[in-house]
Amino acid sequence: MKRQISFTQALATVVGSVIGAGVFFKIGTITAQTGSTSMTLFVWILAGVISIASGLTVSEIAASLKVNGAIKYLDYTYGRVWGFLFGWAQMIVYFPAQIGALSSIFGVQFVSLFGISNKFSNLIAILLVLFLFGINLIGTKVSSKMQSVITVLKIIPIVLIIIWGIFNQNRINIQILPLTVGAGKSMAGGLSQGLLSALFAFEGWIVVTNLANEVKNPEKDLSRAIIAGLSIITLIYVLINYTFLTVLPIHQLVNNNNAAFEASSKLFGQFGGKLVTVGILISVYGAVLTPLC
């Protein structure tokens, strides 16, 4: 393979592969698990640190072995049986479950945006998967170009929410320190459950290690791209969740699948909120497209 991927392109791959649906919709789950604003923000920071450490470990393996893909790393380290099982686990469980979860989120947000009955959300999710499947049948060139456009578009609602949230004059004062959990919850339980949910939103960074044999200087650029990319993503995640927490009271965020729409509506008004939600739908669409490519 030709070594033609630069540091900038590797960095863009990290950011584009990771940012998807989790940044918008995990806030409802995490607030329910932690019960506090301080622990909610902390688990996002901790998830970012763990992801960077994991990424650095895998990038060292990728740069040393000069091969592409986690399956090859497992083959080399633990034997071909584990690489084989990992490949099948991805095909049968991991990717289908990820696509199903993201498509369900898309369906819920779609019916909420257009005022359609909730009973049609699953149908819309199925149609989305079939539509993307058809695009990939046309060819990877088409799906790759579409993914590049979506990567740019999905950043727009994130930037708008963060900027408006920072300058919001009516924001709610929240507790950042000391770390606490909600009533009836243990510190260990709130931290572990919230962390597991936050890590879902960081999934995808390993994609760049699949390109290790095509990066111009993998020994140097892979680690740099992962550190810089995941640091940027962690900052974005913390800021956007801080915005959600300062726009809506925590009791309105708990288990709320429409938190992003409601926060956007409060920041931008009803019409502006719907426009931002369209951007969020595009982001979720891109997240579903990634494992299908």
- DSSP letters along 78-113, please? H-HHHHHHHHHHIIIIIHHHHHHHHHHHHHHHHHHH
Confidence of residue 230 (pLDDT cuts 50, 70, 90): confident
Q: Tens digit of pLDDT for each residue in 22-74?
A: 777 788 888 888 888 889 999 999 999 998 888 878 777 776 776 666 677 78
The domain that contains 58 carries what CATH number?
1.20.1740.10
Q: Is residue 241 part of a domain?
A: yes
Q: Is residue 2 part of a domain?
A: no
In this prediction the pTM is 0.79
Q: Tell me the Ramachandran region of residue 180: left when phi exceeds 0, alpha when psi lies from -120 to 50, beta otherwise.
A: beta
Q: Is residue 1 part of a domain?
A: no
- Predicted pLDDT at 271: 74
The region of weakest confidence among 6-15, 44-53, 92-101, 122-131 is 6-15
- Predicted pLDDT at 145: 61
Q: Is residue 89 part of a domain?
A: yes
Q: Is residue 212 part of a domain?
A: yes
The region of weakest confidence among 56-65, 206-215, 225-234 is 206-215
How many distinct structural domains can be found in the chain?
1
Q: Is residue 280 part of a domain?
A: yes
DSSP code at position 21: S
Q: Is the pLDDT of residue 139 over 60?
A: no
Q: Which domain holds residue 28?
A: 7-292
The region of weakest confidence among 74-83, 88-97, 105-114, 132-141 is 132-141
Comparison of pLDDT for 239 and 136, the residue scoring more? 239
Instruction: Pick the closest to residue 25 from 234, 200, 205 (CA basis).
Output: 200
Q: Is the pLDDT of residue 86 over 90?
A: no
Inter-residue contact 112 to 251 (CB < 8 Å):
no
**What distance in Å separates the CA atoms of residue 221 and residue 30, rounded to the nearest whole number?**
33
Percent pLDDT > 90 in the chain is 4
What tokens were used for 293? Answer: 């490519």
The region of weakest confidence among 82-91, 180-189, 270-279 is 270-279
- Predicted pLDDT at 57: 81
Q: Is residue 170 part of a domain?
A: yes
- Predicted pLDDT at 42: 92
